[in-house]
Every structure is written in structure tokens, then in C-alpha cells.
Amino acid sequence: MKNLVILPITLIFTCTTVAQDIPSLVLQGNRQYVEGEYEKAIMTYESIIDSGYEAADLYYNLGNSYFKSHKITSAIINYERAILLSPNDADIKYNLEMARTFVTDKIEVLPLPFFTQWHNRIVRLFSSDLWAIMSMSGFILFLIFFSLYLFVSEYRVKRYSFWLGLLFFFLSVSSFVFSFHHKKIITGHNTAIVFAPSVTVKSSPDDSGTDLFLIHEGTRVRIEDTLGIWTEIKLDDGNKGWLLTSEIVKI
């Protein structure tokens, strides 16, 4: 297991009164973790999140604190939330995989189509904000080259301006799409972790439904639908069914 990250205090300030205390709370949580006071560190990091602040490093540190407290499911939840915000972080991936070794269910992941894998890898290359900046920058460059194409009479300049403008327009649109999809992944909350010791997944959203299969605490599921107090879930191996919403925690 890899240890906590010291959060960059300079990125934490906001305009609220509560947020003004965040830097000191981060230092307090880090100190508590280093001193082995993991339960106190959990409370401190949770209070920061409750104030409205989110960061991959914060969820990572919280996950580490839960792991050290032998609360593996809570650790997995926070590692999963951290990796949503920083999908290429090697330390988060390592600790998440280590925590998953304690999960009872070993679900075989169905391979995705190559184009879906390709798309997902590109979307996760950068944050949603960075994709948005790239989209705006590309659009500005498109306008510049398009203006050159319209108002410059020299043939070579017009030709290069046309193709460069077309290229930057394509990059702008593509970056916008990637930004939208990355944001949707983060805010969609369409995945969850089973938080009950064991759950019987049913064929329909009621107690009289047929028992389909059993899953255990820590298993990752995809949310397909909700109906009242029931949620339809899908496993990585393709199996689907219904369980009580109270038995899972959204990532």
C-alpha cells in the first residue's frame, strides 16, 4: 500500500468561511494519519468533503485512512472516487487493486469493443476542465484561420488557412465531446459499491422476485435503473438484477 499524499494547500481556498479552515484541516488530517490516529484522520477528511471540497488526493488520503482502519469497503469507495478525478494516477490504481484483493467476489470483466476501449482511454487522458480549455483554444484558432481564409487573397495562405482551420475545428468539437463525456463519468454516479455483507440479487424489484445470484460487500456494480427503493444493477460479467438501494453506496 502506498501512503498518503500531501495536498497542495494553495489549491484549496474558496470564498466560504468554512473553506477558509480547510488548509488547517488538511494539515491536521495528514498529521493524524502519520501519527496512526486513523479514525481521527477519517473524521477530519470527511469534514473537508462535507464542506463541499473534492480532490483526488483528498479521497486517496481518506481511502488510505479507511484501509489502515481495516474498513476495506469504505477504502474501495474512496479510491474509486479518487480515480474518477485522476484516472491515470498510478498510486491510486495500486491501492485500489490491493483493496480489491480483500473482496470475496472475483468478477470476470467482459472485454469491451476495441473502439469503446479506445474512446475511454482518450476521454481519461485529461480532466474535463482541460478538455474544455483545449476545445475553446481550438475554436479560437479555427476562427483565426477561417478569417485568414476569408480575407487574405494570396492562394497559398488561403489553402493552408482552410485546412488548418478545418483541423482546429475538428479538434475543438472532439475536445468538447471528450470534456462532456468525462464530466458525465464524474457526475453521473452510475456506479456503486455493495456495502452490505451479502446481497441476494433478484429478478424483479420486489421481495417476491426470483433469487438470481449472491454478491458480497465491496463488489463494484453499474446502476442501470431505479424504481422506488430498488435499484437495477449490472456486473462486469454481464449479469443483471435488482437489489435494495440501501445496500449499495454510489461512487
Q: Is residue 8 over pLDDT 60?
A: no
pLDDT at 23 over 80: yes
Q: Are residues 15 and 94 in the same domain?
A: yes
The per-residue pLDDT for range 48-101, each reduced to its tens digit, is 999 888 899 999 999 999 999 999 999 999 999 999 888 889 999 999 999 999
Report residue 148 as a C-alpha cell: 485568414
**118 and 156 both lie in a single domain:** yes
pLDDT at 14: 42
For 130-148, write each residue's pLDDT tens digit.
999 999 999 999 999 999 9
Share of the chain above pLDDT 70, in %: 93
The secondary structure of 182-237 as a DSSP string is HHHHHHS--EEEE-SSEEEEESSSSTTSPEEEEEETT-EEEEEEEETTEEEEE-TT
Q: Please provide the average confidence, as pLDDT, over all residues in the chain.
A: 89
- 201 with 243, same domain? yes
**Overall domain count for the chain:** 3
Domain identity same for 73 and 121? no
Helix (H) or strand (E) segment spanning residue 116: helix 114-123
94 Cβ contact list (under 8 Å, min separation 6) = 1, 2
Whether residues 20 and 95 share a domain: the answer is: yes
Of the pLDDT bands very low, low, confident and very high (cuts 50, 70, 90), residue 186 is: confident
Lowest mean pLDDT among 6-15, 55-64, 206-215: 6-15
Task: Evaluate whether residue 15 is within a structural domain.
Answer: yes
**Domain boundary residue among 136, 170, 187?**
187
Q: Can you say how many angstroms the Cα of residue 20 is from the centroid of all Cα atoms in its chain?
A: 26
Global pTM reads: 0.78
d(CA 141, CA 12): 32
C-alpha distances out from residue 74 to 35, 152, 188, Å: 21, 62, 20
For residues 42 and 87, membership in a common domain is answered with: yes
pLDDT, residue 182, reads 86
- Report pLDDT for 132: 95
Q: Of all residues in the chain, what percent carry a pLDDT higher than 90?
A: 71
pLDDT of the residue at 189: 75
CATH of the domain at 217: 2.30.30.40
Q: What is the pLDDT of residue 13?
A: 42
The CATH number given to whatever domain includes residue 27 is: 1.25.40.10
Q: Is the pLDDT of residue 214 over 90?
A: yes
Are the C-beta atoms of 60 and 95 separated by less than 8 Å? yes
Question: Among 28, 19, 18, which Cα is nearest to 4's?
Answer: 28
User: What's 112's DSSP letter?
Assistant: P
Task: Tell me, yes or no, whether 13 and 90 share the same domain.
Answer: yes
Predicted confidence (pLDDT) per residue in 30-39, tens digit: 999 999 999 9
- Mark whether 125 and 96 lie in a shared domain: no
Mean pLDDT within 218-244: 95
d(CA 49, CA 213): 35
Q: Are residues 16 and 96 in the same domain?
A: yes
* Domain enclosing residue 20, as ranges: 9-100
Asked whether residue 230 is assigned to any structural domain, the reply reads yes
207, 226: one domain: yes
68 within domain boundaries: yes
pLDDT of residue 114: 80
Residue 165 is assigned to a structural domain of this protein: yes
**In the listed set 100, 123, 158, which residue is the last one of a domain according to the structure?**
100
